[in-house]
A = this chain, B = another copy of it.
Amino acid sequence: MSKAKTAITPTRAENYAEWYQQVIVGADLAENSPVRGCMIIRPWGYALWENMQRALDDMIKATGHQNAYFPLFIPLSFLQKEAAHVEGFAKECAVVTHHRLEAGPDGKLVPSGELEEPLIVRPTSETIIGDAFARWVQSYRDLPLLINQWANIVRWEMRTRLFLRTTEFLWQEGHTAHATREEAVAETMRMLDVYATFAEDWMAVPVIKGEKTEGERFPGADSTFTIEAMMQDRKALQAGTSHFLGQNFARASNIQFLDRNGGHQHAWTTSWGVTTRLIGALLMTHSDDDGFVLPSKLAPQHVVIVPIFRSDDEKPRVLDYCRKLAAELRAQRYADAPVRVLVDEREERGGEKVWSWVRKGVPLRLEIGPRDIDKDSVFAARRDRAPKDKQSVARGEFVATVGATLQSIQEGLFARAKAYREEHTRKIDSKDEFYAFFRSEREEEGKPTPIHGGFALAHFGGDVALEQKIKDELGVTVRCIPLEEGEPGLCPFTGKRSARRVVWAKAY
């Protein structure tokens, strides 16, 4: 049987990692830059990021946080204030050592003006923000202090992949200080909930909320919480983290306040962040062998209209109809905003245009030619269906239902992703079954990027060493200890009692 032609080569089954790259190329989302590990986010990818930012920023503000901006550079001495923290980031720091360039002996420009203290390009901002908090917080009346920053971050990565792991990435980082442990813990969980809501309601990516084990904790945190999503290769992707920092950073930065009884106390702090990595998560959750698939709520364009005409005679009539239709659609609303519509008037063949929008993942595509106009109808395709599954719909009906159609795509993507995760999640109670779950499919595939078992829900009564051993043998780790209530049981590795099952998976 001949293979169906797809817009992306290779397909997911043929080579998942390469498919991922090709979806990004095909959708013009991003590309590698001449600077090692730093990406260029192209307009289509950046418009998506702006929509994500806007939605999440609204949620962050609605929970009482204010945005601010702190320096890009962290003095080396600041990073060293918290021992575990500097330990965690020392190996991946971009270090500024000079503040000018000067012609060397051979006339070539070389760094000059050495700094007394090296500056680190921020890998995260706990220490520099903590220093400001120490000045801003004097009394219990100054608490809680709820700050968020949208910024670029640099962590020197040796092996990089667009969006998933880049030397420079974009993110938001929340930093808060509280008078009590309870309030800080509540904040940590509140922002985890915000992330989970954003992932599920906006990105249509189902997530599991849980706590990280000791080995996967943020350097310097008392506890780290995560939302974990299953990608289509059944690996887990950590989509956002919220850290309860205890009083560790408050002590390191001396964030103290006068309490209601006149005593001095260290504040309790949190931090939480999501990054441009979310675009990778979105891509690997919904996209198919024809390219990117966008959830309606975040799509830079909801509807793209491609005018189809065979001659210059037909052109004005077709363009005129398309522009009027676009105006009608823009008067409709979806998700509390006007529907976003583009008429693609580029000088290119209609078929090429249509496929470019398939690869870019636009939720609804319309092809409009003279015959559609004669019938006052549109030739419509949904990106969540096969590219050739197109239907002729009366114009008025299409316009009136466009919001509902977009919502049906949004919900359909979420339902499909959730069903996929459930299909590939298994409760496992024996060590043999556990090893078979993660091993069998690795061997039987023999592909460049084998698809492994999925999520294993198993009890665990082991320690960091045992987790490391399992990681060495199978390449899987505890992704999180789910927050959801679970039944107690016995650990299949140690036989010890365990309060609940944890999620095991291979991870990005």
Of the candidates B75, B94, B131, the one whose C-beta lies within 8 Å of that of A99 is B94
Task: Determine whether A156 belongs to the interface, using a CB cutoff of 8 Å to chain B.
Answer: yes
Q: Determine if B96 and A100 form an interchain contact, defined as CB atoms under 8 angstroms apart.
A: no
Q: Are B109 and A86 in contact (CB under 8 A)?
A: yes
Asked whether A93 lies within 8 Å of B101 as measured between CB atoms, the reply is yes
Interface pair B69/A47, CB less than 8 Å apart: no
User: Is the beta-carbon distance between A43 and B72 smaller than 8 angstroms?
Assistant: no
**Interchain CB contact under 8 A, B93 and A95:** no
A152 at interface, CB cutoff 8 A? yes
Question: Which of B46, B147, B152, B156 interacts with A72 by CB under 8 Å?
Answer: B152
A34 CB contacts on chain B under 8 angstroms = 75, 78, 128, 131
Return A88 CB to nearest CB of chain B, in Å: 11
Question: How near does chain B come to A185, taking the closest CB pair, in angstroms?
Answer: 24
When distances are taken between beta carbons in the complex, the residues of chain B under 8 Å from A47 are 66-67
A94 CA to B111 CA in the complex, in Å? 9
A101-B72 contact in complex given A94-B119, A132-B40, C-beta closer than 8 Å: no
Say whether B40 contacts A68, CB under 8 Å: yes
Query: Is B111's CB under 8 angstroms from A38's CB?
Result: no
Contacts A68-B42, A71-B40, A95-B96; is A101 near B76 (CB within 8 Å)? yes
Determine if A464 is an interface residue (Cβ-Cβ < 8 Å).
no
A97 to B97, Cβ gap below 8 A?
Answer: yes
Q: Is A321 in the interface zone, CB < 8 Å from B?
A: no
Q: How far is the CB of A120 from chain B (nearest CB, A)?
A: 8
Chain B residues whose C-beta falls within 8 Å of the C-beta of A97 in the assembled complex: 95-98, 111
Within the complex, the shortest CB–CB distance from A138 to chain B, in Å, comes to 13
- A97-B95, A97-B97 given; A121·B72 CB < 8 A: yes
Q: Name A147-175 residues within 8 Å CB distance of B.
A: 147, 151-152, 154, 156, 168, 170
Does residue A50 face the partner (Cβ distance < 8 Å to B)? yes
CB distance from A61 to the nearest CB of B (A): 10
CA gap between A317 and B347 in the complex, in Å: 66
Q: A68-B40, A132-B40 are in contact. Are A100 and B156 (CB under 8 A)?
A: yes
Does A362 belong to the interface (CB within 8 Å)? Answer: no
Which residues does chain B contribute within 8 Å of A348, judged by CB atoms? Answer: 141
CB neighbours (8 Å) of A99 from chain B are: 92-95, 156
Check B132 against A72 for contact (C-beta < 8 Å): no
A435 at the interface (CB under 8 A from B): no
Residue A14 at the B interface, CB < 8 A? no
**Chain B minimum-CB-distance residue to A157:** B99
Q: Which residues of B contact A91 (CB under 8 A)?
A: 100-101
The 8 closest A-B pairs by CB, nearest first: A38-B71, A43-B66, A41-B69, A95-B98, A90-B101, A99-B156, A95-B111, A35-B71
